[in-house]
Structure 1
């Protein structure tokens, strides 16, 4: 089958870690030998690649087309309107991408199905495009697109519109599936297919004896990830050090907090770390800590476990589905510095065998997810063949 993966959440030469979970799932799907894929990963338009424009300049340097792991990827530009653009973003995205999809079809890739990721604006735009090109559509919900964006009235209506017009909705955990159904989508049209972990890339490493107990946190330094709770727990954990892998707008605030709490000497800020280099950091740590206020399915949890490192995590959305056994780690009783400290202490008191943690992670290969996608796509395309005159309703 030929599929078009559509999402603004996809890696590129300038941001190789951006949306890597979408790329990883697609790579495993293509590796099945049953799928030929192209990727439409739009990038916000900006007029200059001059470095003085920072993040915007980086996006301007993204190539119009590239090949990633043997999969052709196109990066058409779309307009981004600050402040006022949220409500019109799906329409702007769809209109900007429509000519690129038309050219792709004219050049011979007349795909069978659109595989869209993240509901807003991507999924809504994909629903518009699917109707225009008369193609089946599957949208994958991944986290804040369902747990946060529906709190805004117009995005909520558009998300529901797209979900009802999609042939099927995939969620990355059961908790998100419940949220989608609660929005008003027929439960029969929503399937949970959790993310997997690359067990070859993430595997145990040799450890150095005699090191202080080390916590690791991995993720963008943004409010939702709440790394300040982990730093805030360090005064309660006097013999513990923390390694922070990631970058983002909260970096200076976190530096200042560490200084104010007099724990700077025990906090190491690594900045952004390429995924291929994370294995060494997971392996060197005694525990990964994730204090997020929202998560769909946090890939870093399984990556850490695959390296033999147990986790401490907040009890939000899909995380209890990932951390579901003592060898996996401990869930916090509360999202506070005290809650982090108590969970770390509980983990240390009954620290699991690292080989058992690895074995737990091995239950989460990508095989089941790939099989689930193939079965779902086959069913949608077979139904389409039986109803050749079907058109998308307004």
Structure 2
């Protein structure tokens, strides 16, 4: 029996059901395999009083400290998250809280390995915990954990030390593995790609989805958190230059008001909709109905939005960021363009001007599966345990 402790500060909860759904899906796949037992530690960072009285933090503080989440036993210990410190003390606060928690947990769950699902703060904390409890540690890189935390002055040294100290490293793409090296971590990295739920993405008839959603003309979907890094403003300005093309911006975040103001300024409220955050279960219809999924991220690892759009038969228009060149490998997959509105307008127009072979688009991500993802993860973790 392989006993895995999954450490994930990105993991869904009742307040944030879409927060790290890809980690949830990966963990469910691992736990479903024979001879594997999984316990999830999903720490919740809370600021000190009086900031903790903010409604958002109060909702997080009210989460159960332990619960069964979709069949997984999930602990949600609280740790001190000191704001305005650029993450400098995240790892210390997390480790301080987890040492006593895991000491108690080991009495009933003698975990063999720690699987850290985000490079920061999960990774540095996991390495320290692994040394304390005498178990190997794996860290997975997904994107911003390396692109931001791996280069930020307050945290870069912690990220590098964790990468050098871990027993194994995973990355969501080859480009992400290269970025780990660029951050100063000179270690072998195993590429561990995401999966696709093919019972939902790619199984929906496009005409039926468009009818259900009331879509009649060309539709572009921009899918991601409403933050500057995702570049929704670039896609918005691009679609403004394409008469008759609609745009749905799907996601929640602090840029909502600025995007709403820009839509009003451009006078295109009749064909652009800010949809807000959607349950992940609603996305298959949206992606099946879209003609293009355009996302102007400044950085990515391997965006789930790219993969799920392609699996739905919908081409993507994206910048040359992260693993873009690992998925946009044929014209049916879409276009890689410069990260500016005029280039996005040209890329979107090019996709819309040609008939789409949806089977060819779907074939680009044929190798992505949650079953393969789970088997590869089990083999990786079991290998670390055997190596000890």
Please indicate the TM-score interval, normalised by the length of the shorter structure. Answer: over 0.9
The aligned residue for residue 368 of structure 2 is: 364
Normalised by the length of structure 1, the TM-score is: 0.92
Q: Does the Cα contact within 8 Å between 1:46 and 1:59 map onto a contact in 2? A: no
Pairing partner for 1:226 from 225, 231, 239:
231
CA distance in 2 between partners of 1:40 and 1:51 (Å): 21
Q: Does the Cα contact within 8 Å between 1:8 and 1:42 map onto a contact in 2? A: yes
Q: Does the Cα contact within 8 Å between 2:86 and 2:154 map onto a contact in 1? A: no
The aligned residue for residue 60 of structure 1 is: 61
The aligned residue for residue 140 of structure 2 is: 140
Q: Which moved more, 1:285-294 or 1:55-64?
A: 55-64
The aligned residue for residue 388 of structure 1 is: none
Unmatched segments (≥5 aa) in structure 2? none
CA distance in 2 between partners of 1:379 and 1:116 (Å): 16
**1:206 to partner: Cα distance:** 4.0
CA distance in 2 between partners of 1:46 and 1:159 (Å): 22
Pairing partner for 1:217 from 222, 225, 228:
222
Deviations 1:322-362 (A, max 9, x none): 22222222111x11110110110111233321232233333
Q: Which moved more, 1:350-359 or 1:229-238?
A: 350-359
**1:272 to partner: Cα distance:** 0.8
Q: Which moved more, 1:41-50 or 1:27-36?
A: 41-50
RMSD: 2.0
Secondary structure at the aligned position of 1:149 is classed as: coil
The aligned residue for residue 166 of structure 2 is: 166
**1:3 to partner: Cα distance:** 0.3
**1:46 to partner: Cα distance:** 5.7
Report whether the alignment pairs 1:373 with 2:372: no
**1:71 to partner: Cα distance:** 1.0
**1:367 to partner: Cα distance:** 3.2
Normalised by the length of structure 2, the TM-score is: 0.93
Q: Does the Cα contact within 8 Å between 1:39 and 1:71 map onto a contact in 2? A: yes
Unmatched segments (≥5 aa) in structure 1? 385-394
Structure 1 pair 48/84, CA: closer, same or farther in 2 (3 Å)? Answer: closer
Secondary structure at the aligned position of 1:202 is classed as: coil
CA distance in 2 between partners of 1:8 and 1:174 (Å): 23
Report whether the alignment pairs 1:156 with 2:156: yes
The aligned residue for residue 283 of structure 2 is: 278
CA distance in 2 between partners of 1:362 and 1:69 (Å): 27
Secondary structure at the aligned position of 2:366 is classed as: helix
CA distance in 1 between partners of 2:61 and 2:355 (Å): 47
The aligned residue for residue 347 of structure 1 is: 351
Deviations 1:216-237 (A, max 9, x none): 1111101110100011112310
Structure 1 pair 49/75, CA: closer, same or farther in 2 (3 Å)? Answer: farther
Secondary structure at the aligned position of 1:16 is classed as: coil
Report whether the alignment pairs 1:8 with 2:13: no
CA distance in 1 between partners of 2:91 and 2:147 (Å): 18
Structure 1 pair 111/51, CA: closer, same or farther in 2 (3 Å)? Answer: closer
Secondary structure at the aligned position of 1:21 is classed as: helix
CA distance in 1 between partners of 2:51 and 2:122 (Å): 28
The aligned residue for residue 387 of structure 1 is: none
CA distance in 2 between partners of 1:86 and 1:46 (Å): 12
* Match runs of 1:290-301 below 5 Å: 290-301=295-306
